[in-house]
């Protein structure tokens, strides 16, 4: 059933080919999100039966219609800035603040005060605020983000554990944290860890749970273990997918051994990546001998993942989907940087000006990381 759903939403854009070609020609470069695929992804996530609560990490895609779709599926929200918290309350004024978790990093003091005013779950990922601004935290209930000592993920830029990562409280500081929280009577309701992003190894969430459990026993009184996000997806057909059934089985083992803790997770990518595509139109072709370029009307200003992480997303010529691939090409944007390559060495059919190019699995960390570099406006967004 899980595999069927996965197949299904990999195919959503193929089924809408003509509609998408027309849309790209009319609107120019566009991120298109499928509401059905967002909902299918939510259903797949909820097949983690050992997890008690699900929060959407809205940094992955903060499009209003995407947020509304997830709210309609009863997801909470994980926010990393006060801007994200405020967006949630503006869109959903009646939301229970307990369904929002604020997990900032090196945020200014005022953001913690504002988050407490909203009544949301506040996560501290450093001892500094407790030492320097105790009056902000006195008599409060908080979460602590723990650095389990190692990171994991698709690229060094997204691994968030160990001394070379700026995130989380190192375990050696726990006794000092404990003495401060006792002094200023803070209740630690939950512990949090997020070791990185784009993880395909199903054992990681249970390992994180075991580490958080050790810290929880050290502190006492902890009810919730938030295991973060990080669930990886297939960016192209050659990649493996993460076996969510196995993740669930492993977490079930943890739960059976430690039934007194609630488990929360906060994925971003898993919910949105496969539900989004980026459409662009071919502008010009170039051949430097055997090295060929297909130019499109948007580039790293809309989608920076290939340049930033060497990400390799499926790319197709939507206008020539049924044509045989006969050449190896580079798909490039119009930005003044040699790194403005969306696809390197791709097998492609003969293409021409006006063809619509589709970059798949771009619903996460796409539009949110875009810019107007070169004063080229990034792709617009539309939910269908």
Distances (CA, A) of 355 to 280, 295, 300, 317, 358: 8, 11, 19, 7, 10
Provide, rounded to whole angstroms, the least separation between the CB of residue 355 and ligand LLP. Answer: 27
C-alpha to C-alpha distance for 298 and 306, rounded to whole angstroms? 13
**Using the rule CB under 6 A, which residue among 267, 295, 299, 343 binds ligand LLP?**
267
**Using the rule CB under 6 A, which residue among 161, 198, 333, 363 binds ligand LLP?**
198
Stretch that binds ligand LLP, among 15-23, 69-77, 193-201, 216-224 (CB under 6 A): 193-201
Nearer to ligand LLP, 229 or 333 (CB): 229
Provide, rounded to whole angstroms, the least separation between the CB of residue 5 and ligand LLP. Answer: 18
Provide, rounded to whole angstroms, the least separation between the CB of residue 255 and ligand LLP. Answer: 21
Nearest CA-CA partner of 281 in 297, 293, 269: 297
Restricting to residues 74-113, which ones interact with ligand LLP according to CB under 6 A?
Answer: 78, 103
Nearest CA-CA partner of 270 in 55, 107, 102: 55
Task: Indicate which residue of 11, 336, 344, 347 is catalytic.
Answer: 336
266 binds ligand LLP (CB under 6 A): yes
234 binds ligand LLP (CB under 6 A): no
302 binds ligand LLP (CB under 6 A): no
C-alpha to C-alpha distance for 146 and 106, rounded to whole angstroms? 14
C-alpha to C-alpha distance for 142 and 74, rounded to whole angstroms? 23
Active site residue 79: no
C-alpha to C-alpha distance for 157 and 365, rounded to whole angstroms? 13
Stretch that binds ligand LLP, among 1-9, 228-236, 346-354, 371-379 (CB under 6 A): 228-236
Which residues touch 289 (CB under 8 Å, ≥6 apart)? none
Sign of the Cα pseudo-torsion (219, 225, 229, 234, in order) = positive
Distances (CA, A) of 76 to 167, 262, 299: 22, 15, 33
- Other residues' Cβ atoms within 10 Å of the Cβ of residue 110: 10
Provide, rounded to whole angstroms, the least separation between the CB of residue 313 and ligand LLP. Answer: 11
**Using the rule CB under 6 A, which residue among 152, 269, 313, 367 binds ligand LLP?**
269
**Backbone torsions φ then ψ of 19, nearest 5 degrees:** -60, -40
Restricting to residues 111-150, which ones interact with ligand LLP according to CB under 6 A?
Answer: none
- Other residues' Cβ atoms within 10 Å of the Cβ of residue 207: 18
Nearer to ligand LLP, 229 or 295 (CB): 229
Stretch that binds ligand LLP, among 37-45, 194-202, 247-255, 284-292 (CB under 6 A): 194-202
Nearest CA-CA partner of 124 in 60, 76, 190, 53: 190
Q: How many residues bind ligand LLP (CB under 6 A)?
A: 21
Sign of the Cα pseudo-torsion (303, 305, 306, 307, in order) = positive
Provide, rounded to whole angstroms, the least separation between the CB of residue 101 and ligand LLP. Answer: 9
Nearer to ligand LLP, 164 or 288 (CB): 164
Stretch that binds ligand LLP, among 12-20, 168-176, 265-273, 274-282 (CB under 6 A): 265-273
- Full 3-state SS string of 78-114: EECCHHHHHHHHHHCCCCCHHHEEECCCCCCHHHHHH
**Using the rule CB under 6 A, which residue among 228, 276, 333, 343 binds ligand LLP?**
228
159 binds ligand LLP (CB under 6 A): no
| Tokens found for residue 333 | 């944007």
Nearer to ligand LLP, 201 or 350 (CB): 201
**Using the rule CB under 6 A, which residue among 158, 169, 278, 356 binds ligand LLP?**
158
29 binds ligand LLP (CB under 6 A): no
Residue facing ligand LLP at closest CB distance:
229
Query: Which residues contact ligand LLP (rule: CB under 6 A)?
Result: 57, 60, 78, 103, 158, 194, 197-198, 228-231, 266-270, 305, 309, 364-365
- The residues annotated as belonging to the active site are 336
């Amino acid at each position: 059933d899980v595999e069927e759903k996965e197949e299904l939403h990999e195919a959503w854009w193929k089924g809408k080919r003509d509609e998408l070609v027309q849309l790209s020609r009319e609107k120019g470069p566009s991120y298109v999100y499928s509401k059905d695929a967002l909902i299918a992804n939510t259903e797949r996530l909820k097949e983690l039966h050992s997890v008690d609560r699900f929060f959407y990490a809205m940094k992955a895609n903060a499009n209003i219609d995407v947020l509304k779709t997830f709210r309609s599926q009863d997801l909470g929200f994980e926010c990393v800035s006060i801007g994200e918290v405020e967006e949630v309350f503006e869109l959903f004024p009646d939301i229970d603040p307990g369904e929002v978790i604020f997990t900032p990093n090196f945020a200014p003091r005022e953001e913690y005060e504002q988050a407490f005013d909203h009544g949301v779950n506040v996560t501290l990922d450093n001892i500094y605020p407790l030492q320097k601004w105790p009056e902000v935290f006195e008599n409060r209930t908080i979460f602590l983000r723990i650095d389990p000592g190692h990171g994991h993920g698709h690229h060094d830029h997204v691994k968030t554990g160990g001394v070379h990562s700026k995130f989380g409280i190192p375990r050696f500081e726990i006794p000092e944290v404990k003495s401060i929280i006792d002094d200023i009577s803070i209740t630690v309701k939950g512990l949090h860890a997020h070791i990185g992003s784009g993880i395909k190894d199903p054992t990681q969430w249970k390992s994180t749970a075991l580490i958080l459990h050790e810290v929880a026993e050290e502190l006492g009184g902890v009810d919730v273990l938030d295991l973060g996000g990080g669930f990886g997806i297939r960016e192209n057909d050659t990649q493996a997918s993460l076996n969510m059934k196995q993740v669930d089985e492993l977490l079930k083992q943890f739960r059976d051994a430690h039934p007194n803790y609630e488990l929360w997770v906060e994925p971003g990518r898993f919910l949105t990546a496969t539900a989004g595509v980026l459409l662009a139109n071919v502008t010009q072709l170039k051949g430097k001998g055997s090295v060929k370029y297909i130019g499109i009307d948007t580039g790293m200003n809309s989608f920076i993942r290939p340049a930033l992480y060497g990400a390799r997303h499926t790319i197709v010529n939507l206008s020539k989907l049924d044509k045989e691939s006969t050449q190896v090409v580079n798909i490039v944007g119009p930005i003044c940087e040699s790194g403005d390559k969306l696809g390197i060495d791709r097998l492609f059919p003969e293409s021409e000006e006006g063809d619509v190019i589709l970059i798949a699995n771009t619903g996460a960390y796409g539009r949110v990381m875009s810019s107007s570099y070169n004063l080229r406006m990034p792709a617009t967004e539309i939910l269908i």
